[in-house]
Every structure is written in C-alpha cells, then in structure tokens.
Amino acid sequence: MSIRQRLYPTAGQAAGLMEHCHHARFVFNIGLEQRSMWRRDKHLRGPLSAPRVNTATQMRELAELRGEAEWLRAGSSSVQQAALRDLDRAFGNFFAGRAKYPKFKRRSDREGSFVIRDLSVRRLNRKWGEVMVPKIGRVRFRISRDWVQITSASSARVTHQNGAWHVAFTTPAPARRMAATGAAVGIDRDVANTLALSDGRMFQAPSLTTGEQSRFVRLQQRLSRQQKDSRRRGKTLEKLAVLRRRLEARRSDWLEQTTTTLARTHGLIAVEDLRIRNMVRRPKPKPDPETPTVFLPNGARAKAGLNRAILASAWGRFLTRLEHKMPEGNLLRVDPKNTSRTCAACGHCAPGNRESQAVFECQACGHEAHADTNAAIVILDRALRTTTAAGHAVSGRTSPASAGSANQLAA
C-alpha cells in the first residue's frame, strides 16, 4: 500500500532532490550492468571462478566506489543503497515471473525517483507535514490522507515528474500490520470497562453478569439496613466479597491475555501517563464497601462504584504487566492533557469537540469518530512525535536490514 502526497521543496531543496534522483539512477544502472554481465558470462567462466553478484557484494562495491568518487560521496549513502535494493526487488519480480527484465533508467531532468528508508515524519499543522530527506533536511508536504497511516510507513519514494514532486509513503498492508512486525498502537481507556485502540478495535473488560450485578446491588441494599457489628451484616459482607473476588479473577485472566496479545503484536504501545493523569483529573471519592450509600434507588451508584474501584487498580496493573511483556522502552507514556478534546485528524483542540461521551465531532474540520478511538489516535500521535523529536528510532520502523547495510558501508 502506498499513500502519495504532494511535496513542496524550496528551490534549494529541489536541486538537492534532483541530485538524489541522479545518484539513485546512476547506482541502479551500474548495478544492473554488473548483474547483466555476470549473467551473460557465467557460462563462459565456469561455475567456480565467478563469485556471485548480489546485493551484499554490490553494497560493498558501492562503499568502495564512494571512497573513490567525490561526487558520489557528496550524496546520501542511504539513498544510493536504497537504489541497489530497488534493483534487487526488480530482479526478484523478474525471477518470480511478475515483471520483465529490469531496464536501465534514462537520464532525465523531468523524471526521477529515489527511496528514503528509516522514515521520519512530523506534523506541522492540519494541512502540512514534513518528511526528513537525508542530506537535505525536512521537506514540506501537503497532508491529504490519514496521518496515522502516514506515520505507519517505514519508507517512502520521492518522485519527480513533469515539474511536480511527490512523496509516496509505503504503508504496511492492513492484514500484515497485525503480525509481530512492530506496528505502533495507542490505547485509551474510558470510564466503563473498555480499552479503545487507535486502529479502531475495542477490548471490553469482563464485568459481573446481569444476574450477579442485581445480586450485588441487593446485597448492598441489605447491608445498608443491617445493624453494625451484627452477625447478619457479617454474612452479607462475606457474600459481597465473594462477588468481588469473582470479578477480580475474571479481570485478571482478561488482563493477562490482553496484555500478552498486545505485547506480541505491537512494537510500540502508547498510553496516557497515569501519574500526570491522576494530577490533572479531579480525584473521585473512593467508594467504601463498609459504608455504602444509604439510599440506592436503582443501584446505579453501587455498580458504578464497584466498576470504578476495580478498573482503577486494574489499569495500573495492566500497564505494569504490559511493560514487563514488551522490550524495554517500547511502552510509551504521554501527557494525557486534552487527549479527549483534541481532533486526531487536524489537531484542533476545544472542549466543544466532544459531542457526547461516545461521539467525537471536530468543530474545525468536521472529523467524526468514536470518542475513545479518537483519543487513542491522539495518544499514539503524541508518542510518535516525541520519539522522532528526541531522535530515538521509533521501534518497528528501523529494520535490522538497514542497520546491517549501514555497517557494511562503514566497514
């Protein structure tokens, strides 16, 4: 999958981009020539005399070539390496019967392209983003597509055609995004028992069954009528405790299973920082099981109190378990300020954005979404922005292959 956005380089940047195109074309062509000659001559030389030409050998030779040719060295090694990978892919498609034999790229000032790996993007505002181009710096592009999808890209191709520049972000296919390749996800939790993920999924924590809930309410009502320190009251308390333990056990199972699934399928998980969250949100009075509210018309408060108390402790435990199950540093905690009021599409932040508990509607751009999904996207967005700003590689965006090729070149 690929998301193409219009790129708006300055005049100086455009000249640099053009240089990258020329270098990429040169490396691609010289690599193609070498492979073609090797294929043509392998029968003449005999099977043992000719070492096989492949991406690894060509990467080494590229490094040597850069040592000799000043003009090539002035360009970006990662752009030039990416051209060799491009060539390798073209041969892969040819061998698999998906494409014709690779063709030489013609020199042209009107057409060209190159690939950026280890992508770093950031959002400036609703309409503009920036992509980091090696040796050139940040180049602006116009955002017309889902920002979250753009940030999920691991590489991009910059193309030049008929005077216009574009950047095409290569995003993982939706099905493969769930594989253990290190997809990034944001999680928001609501006051009920649901975790909302930035990709739209919901995880519902188990609660008491309807029957158990009415039983719980009945017991609480009975408790409020019973005399303190009476034996009957003791029995009622014990029955309430049984229900609480049952719910607790159910939640623990769920918590272990969910954290395992999430940790296994994501390279990066972003959540709200609880320590900050607790400071900014007004503390709610803790329900005391020993002294329940005397008047309970329908038991709503009792149920809510039970859920809140257990969820509050479960969320902290949820994060702890998640952190244990993930590689260090891959659970990111972000500032929770205004996550529920900020638009995931345009970044507009206003209290009126949240139409109701469940629906988010942006007053600036009209973006509509489930309120918690929207918040989860904002949380993820925040985490990705801080990691790229701090210069850390966002996990899942740097493949081992790229690290290896960097070493090859340095050697």
Residue ranges in contact with Zn ion by CB under 5 A: 343, 345-346, 348, 362, 364-365, 367
Q: Quote the distance between the C-alpha of residue 341 and its chain's center.
A: 21
Q: Residue for token digits 């980091």?
A: 132
Which residue's structure tokens are 């188990």?
Answer: 206
Give the span between the Cα atoms of 312 and 191, in whole angstroms: 9
| Residue 6 φ/ψ, nearest 5 degrees | -75, 130
Nearest distance in Å: CB 183, Zn ion: 24
Task: Say which amino acid occupies 250.
Answer: R
Q: Which residue has the tokens 């090859």?
A: 408
Shortest CB 347 distance to Zn ion, Å: 7
Task: Please state the closest distance from residue 371 (CB atom) to Zn ion, in A.
Answer: 13
**Which of 325, 176, 330 has the alpha carbon at shortest distance from 264?**
325
Tell me the C-alpha distance between 56 and 112, whole Å: 25
CB of 146 to Zn ion, least distance (A): 12
CB of 372 to Zn ion, least distance (A): 16
Residue with tokens 């109701």: 356
Q: Which residue number, 45 or 142, has a Cβ lying nearer to Zn ion?
A: 142
**168: number of Cβ within 10 Å:** 18
DSSP β-ladder status, 2-8 and 164-170? antiparallel
- By C-beta, is 187 or 362 nearer to Zn ion? 362
CB of 40 to Zn ion, least distance (A): 58
3-state secondary structure 348-404: CECHHHECCCCEEECCCCCCEEEHHHHHHHHHHHHHHHHHHHCCCCCCCCCCHHHHH
Task: For the CB of residue 346, give the shortest distance to Zn ion in the complex, in Å.
Answer: 3
Instruction: Identify which of residues 76 and 342 has a Cβ nearer to Zn ion in the complex.
Output: 342
Residue type at 96?
A: A
Cα Rg, the chain, nearest whole Å: 29
CA distance linking residue 145 with residue 149, whole number of Å? 8
Least Å distance between CB 100 and Zn ion?
46
Positive or negative torsion for Cα 213, 218, 224, 229: negative
The minimum distance between CB 334 and Zn ion, in angstroms, equals 19
Rounded to a whole number of angstroms, the minimum distance from the CB of residue 341 to Zn ion is: 11
Following CA atoms 139, 142, 143, 149 in sequence, which dihedral angle do they give, to the nearest 10 degrees? Answer: -40
Of the pair 285, 352, the CB lying nearest Zn ion is at 352
Nearest to 192 by CA among 370, 378, 380, 382: 370
Q: Tokens in use for 292?
A: 């329940």
In this complex, which beta carbon is closest to Zn ion, that of residue 137 or of residue 366? Answer: 366
| Closest distance of CB 64 from Zn ion, Å | 52
* DSSP states of 187-243: EEE-SSSEEEETTS-EEEPP---HHHHHHHHHHHHHHHHSPTT-HHHHHHHHHHHHH
